[in-house]
Amino acid sequence: MENIQQPWLPELNLFLGIWYGERLSQTTHWLRWWNQAGNLLLWSAEQSQQEQRRAEALAAKLRELGVDPETL
């Protein structure tokens, strides 16, 4: 997905830029935040999805090792 970063905002320690992609079933240009390293900051729904995927991957790894994650 394409992103166009705007000038650095030192008061916020962030870039505010235009990101082209899909959100809310619409593919268009959206305002998004990036940190100083150029990493896109996640919306809360994206962050929740990412955390869920990590939790599922960790649970799968624990099961591979013979540990039931539900009993921890």
pTM for this structure?
0.67
Q: What's the pLDDT score for residue 7? A: 85
CA distance 21 to 56: 26
- Domain tally for the chain? 1
- Structural domain of residue 59, as residue ranges? 3-67
Q: Where are the beta strands (DSSP E) in 1-72?
A: 3-9, 14-23, 26-34
Domain annotation covers residue 72: no
13-22 LR contacts (CB < 8 Å, sep 24+): 14/41
pLDDT in single tens digits along all 72 residues of the chain: 555 657 889 999 999 999 999 999 999 999 999 999 989 999 999 999 999 999 999 999 999 999 999 987
In whole angstroms, give the CA distance from residue 71 to residue 22.
Answer: 38
Helix, strand, or coil here: 5?
strand
